């Protein structure tokens, strides 16, 4: 049981380049999330997927797109990278009860450290 | 809107002494509160959460947290700190939606 896995671990891009960050979970969770972590700002939600086939914007979605490929996989794409997107990106997943919403625990992957030059 | 404040950027304690990491929150409706720990170059690890019931919540690695509704606080505590507890700690709050709002984090250093 690997939990939440992310690839790659590190990436350096030039401004304007594109890339996709991959995330997979093997815990049969229905909800998945992408966060970015910047010093002194905690984690901020970029996008989330409540269930397979649905995606929604979080608090900082500009410059990103996502795809919920299937129940296990949730990818984050930077179409034209900018230096402001230099950050550490974390994927998370949870099993969200439809009735008692909000109580689910999110489990995080190891992160992708992205630098945009 | 929901938010979390961690008033201390850093907490320094000696090994064997009590450890407290402070957190206050603001949320409409019933708060669901979480503590996570992050070791260097690692992802976040879940420590404990408060949903309802007993105000004292026990979690992993000997940590516990006390929910105080009147003071809107959820402080993390450990009776006897270890050097291995040195890490970055995050408090987070959620109402009934998908967004988990994190504090800025508190760096804990436990000296031998």
User: For the segment A20-55, what is each residue's pLDDT rounded down to a tens digit?
Assistant: 999 999 999 999 999 999 988 889 999 999 889 899
Q: Which has more pLDDT, B88 or A97? A: B88
Q: What is the structure's pLDDT at B79?
A: 96
Q: What is the structure's pLDDT at A101?
A: 67
Supply A34's token pair. Answer: 């992408």
Q: How far apart are CA A80 and CA A102, in angstroms?
A: 33
Distance from CA of A86 to the nearest CA of B (A): 16
Q: How confident is the model at residue A104 (pLDDT cuts 50, 70, 90)?
A: confident
Residue B81 has pLDDT above 70, yes or no: yes
The whole-chain average pLDDT of chain B stands at 93
Measured on CA atoms in the order A107, A112, A116, A117, is the torsion positive or negative? Answer: positive
Burial of B44 by CB count in 10 Å (0-12 exposed, 13-18 middle, 19+ buried)? buried
Chain B residues touching residue A36 (CB < 8 angstroms): none
Q: What is the structure's pLDDT at B91?
A: 96
Q: Which has more pLDDT, A103 or B27? A: B27
Looking at residue A37, the DSSP 8-state letter turns out to be E
Chain B residues touching residue A105 (CB < 8 angstroms): 34, 46, 49
Q: A102 vs B94: CB contact, 8 Å cut-off?
A: yes
CA distances from A44 to A17, A38, B66 (A): 23, 8, 25
Q: How far apart are CA B86 and CA B82, in angstroms?
A: 8
Q: What is the structure's pLDDT at B89?
A: 97
CA distances from B48 to A12, A56, B32, B56, B77 (A): 35, 27, 11, 11, 11
> Nearest residue on chain A to B104, judged by CA atoms?
A42
Chain pair A-B, CB pairs under 8 angstroms:
57
Distance from CA of B98 to the nearest CA of A (A): 7
Residue B103 has pLDDT above 80, yes or no: yes
Q: A105 vs B51: CB contact, 8 Å cut-off?
A: no
Q: Which has more pLDDT, A102 or A96? A: A96
């Amino acid at each position: 049981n690997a939990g939440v896995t992310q690839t790659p671990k590190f990436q350096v891009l030039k401004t304007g380049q594109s890339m996709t960050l991959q995330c997979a979970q093997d815990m049969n969770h229905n909800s998945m999330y992408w966060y970015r972590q910047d010093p002194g700002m905690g984690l901020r939600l970029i996008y989330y997927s409540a269930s397979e086939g649905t995606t929604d914007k979080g608090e900082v979605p500009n410059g990103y797109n996502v795809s919920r490929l299937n129940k296990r996989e949730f990818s984050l794409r930077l179409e034209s990278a900018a230096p402001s997107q230099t950050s550490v990106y974390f994927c998370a997943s949870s099993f969200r009860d439809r009735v008692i919403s909000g109580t689910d625990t999110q489990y995080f992957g190891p992160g992708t450290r992205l630098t945009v030059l | 809107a929901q938010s979390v404040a961690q008033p201390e950027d850093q907490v320094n304690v000696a090994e064997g002494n009590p450890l407290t990491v402070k957190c206050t929150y603001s949320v409409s409706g019933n708060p669901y509160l979480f503590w996570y720990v992050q070791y260097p170059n690692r992802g976040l690890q879940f420590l404990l959460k408060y949903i309802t019931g007993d105000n004292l919540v026990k979690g992993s690695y000997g940590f516990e947290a006390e929910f105080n509704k009147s003071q809107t606080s959820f402080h993390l505590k450990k009776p006897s700190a270890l050097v291995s507890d040195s890490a970055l700690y995050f408090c987070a709050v959620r109402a009934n939606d998908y967004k988990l709002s994190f504090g800025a984090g508190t760096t804990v250093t436990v000296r031998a």
